[in-house]
Structure 1
Amino acid sequence: MSYFWSLAFLAAVPLVMAFPTGAPAGACVNLTPGHRYNASVIFPPQTGPSPYVLNVSKNMYTPSEELTVSVTGGSFKGILLQARLADDTLVGTFSDPPTNTKLVKCTGPGDSVTHTSTTPKEAGTSFTWTAPGSDVGNVIFTATFVLEYDEFWVKVTSQEIPSTDIDECSVNDPAPCDTKNGACENSAGSYSCSCNAGYKLSTADGFTCNGAPWVTVNSALIISLLCMVFVATKQ
């Protein structure tokens, strides 16, 4: 009889499934922890406003620049933090995770940060993020915060952080292209060199414009002479 009641008691106890040492791999895409009440019931996220705010140290970024993302709004036990583009692509890398957190790989090494224990992380906890080496567009930091296993907020976002492209053609002295015999054209995260008519871009350095400008001049002279001959024959 006691065995029967023991089974009945265990059946009535909720099956709490949390992830105290970090977010599961399945949370990488939708950032939902997947905490279960029992085998068939998953705790839903909070629907009200999040008490947590993601603050970014700068309102713009340049390629390879380090930014700091800090959390305000109170302590939290669990976190999964990422930097995303509008299409949810993960970009950049985190480094030097604070105490009780770690770097994880969702699509690439260090593209996400999560907790290593349920020890509360205090408000003001900050994370270091390095932007990609090229301009990838506007970035939004996105996180899930867990206060208790049945109380969490999903996809809390920062303000949109636009990119600031460096115009290599104007900031470098001398310019990275042969501007005497060609031109420098800036592009997102890069630049390209071109040459004037009669010149060719050096395959050795991709910078120097080599050529014989007299060819162009002589061509014009020949055309002029031919025109003069044509006019003379008509007279």
Structure 2
Amino acid sequence: MMHQSVILAILVSLCLQAVYGYPSGPPVGSVKGLCEAMDPTGHGPSKATGDPPYVISVSSSSYKANANITVSIKVTGDSEHFEGLFVQARRQDASKGSTTEALGTFSDQPTDTQLLHCGNAKNNAWGHKDKKTKTEKTITWTAPDDQGPLVFVATIVKGPKEMYWMDVKSSELTFDAGEKKLHVNTKWDDFKQRLYYQRKVANQP
């Protein structure tokens, strides 16, 4: 009897997830391929139409290794809101690697959101933790080394569960290689040129 009760409880739980989705956040640890597809499990086909009423804003148009960038999800209208979100930073250039790999590290998340682990890395994705309505959420993202152009990609659920938008994107971030190495080379070239002329003058009769 107890064994049957456990099975029944599991079946009820699965049915509720199918009906209501996952209000406690994207189930990246239990749903295979979710990190790559970013498809909201248990929500069914989206009934959302038109452009998403959300923007992903970033504090910089470029990144460099270990630099912190502020990332915000915001509504674009006074009457808009969202309940769920799933956010990653991804490559735009396939020659640098997979364009579905979550890159960088998120931190300082709001209390009603959570850090998620995709693949073998930790805290490389960001999601909701409850289904309370939200209008803006902000987090810190620490950049990796050069991965080519990057964008932040999100799936955002407005609610009810069938009202969601996928592939919401930020503006593109380019890698900032800096000019330190160029400056060093330039100074060295100037030194060699001065030394050459000094020797040339010294050798004149």
TM-score (norm: length of structure 2): 0.69
Output aligned runs, 1:4-23, within 5 Å: 16-23=19-26
Amino acid at match of 2:86: L
**Structure 1, residues 138-176: CA drift from partner, whole Å, max 9, x if none?**
1100001111112111110011111111233245xxx49
1:34, 1:43 within 8 Å by CA — same for their partners in 2?
A: no
* More helix as a share of residues: 2
Q: How does 1:50-89 map to 2 (within 5 A)?
A: 50-73=52-75, 74-86=80-92, 87-89=99-101
Task: Tell whether 2:193 aligns with 1:169.
Answer: no
The answer (yes or no) to whether the contact 1:100–1:121 under 8 Å persists in 2 is: no
Report how far residue 62 of structure 1 moved: 1.8
Alignment of 1:1-235 (within 5 A): 16-25=19-28, 26=31, 27-36=34-43, 42-44=44-46, 46-73=48-75, 74-86=80-92, 87-107=99-119, 108-123=121-136, 125-132=137-144, 134-148=145-159, 149-170=161-182, 175=184, 179=188
RMSD: 2.7
Give CA-to-partner distance per residue, 1:79-103, whole Å, 9 cap, x none: 1010000222221110011120010
Give, in whole Å, the separation in 1 of the partners of 2:109 and 2:81.
16
Q: Which has the higher contact order (CA 8 A, sep 6+)?
A: 2
The alpha-carbon distance between structure 1 residues 57 and 166, as it changes in their structure 2 partners (threshold 3 A), is same
Q: Distance in 2 between matches of 1:170 and 1:83?
A: 29
* Separation of aligned partners in 2, 1:128 and 1:100: 15
Equivalent pair of 2:46/2:165 in contact (CA under 8 Å) = no
User: 2: CA distance between counterparts of 1:150 and 1:45?
Assistant: 6
Q: Alpha carbons of 1:127 and 1:45: their partners in 2 closer, same or farther (altered >3 Å)? A: farther
SS in 2 for 1:29: helix
Number of residue pairs the alignment of both structures matches: 160
Is the alpha carbon distance of 1:179 and 1:67 closer, same or farther for their aligned partners in structure 2, counting shifts above 3 Å? same
Q: 8 Å contact 2:82–2:134 — kept in the other structure?
A: yes
For 2:42 and 2:117, how far apart are their aligned partners in 1? 21
Q: Which amino acid aligns with 2:89?
A: A
Query: Does the CA contact (< 8 Å) of 1:35 and 1:43 recur in 2?
Result: no
Q: Which amino acid aligns with 1:99?
A: T
Deviation at 1:75, TM superposition (A): 2.4
Task: Could you tell me which runs of 5 or more consecutive residues in structure 2 were left unpaired when the two chains were aligned.
Answer: 1-15, 93-98, 193-205
What is residue 200 of structure 2 aligned with on the other side? Answer: none
CA distance in 2, matches of 1:52, 1:157: 10
Instruction: Give 1:72 shift.
Output: 1.8
% identical aligned pairs: 31
State the SS of the aligned residue for 1:16: helix
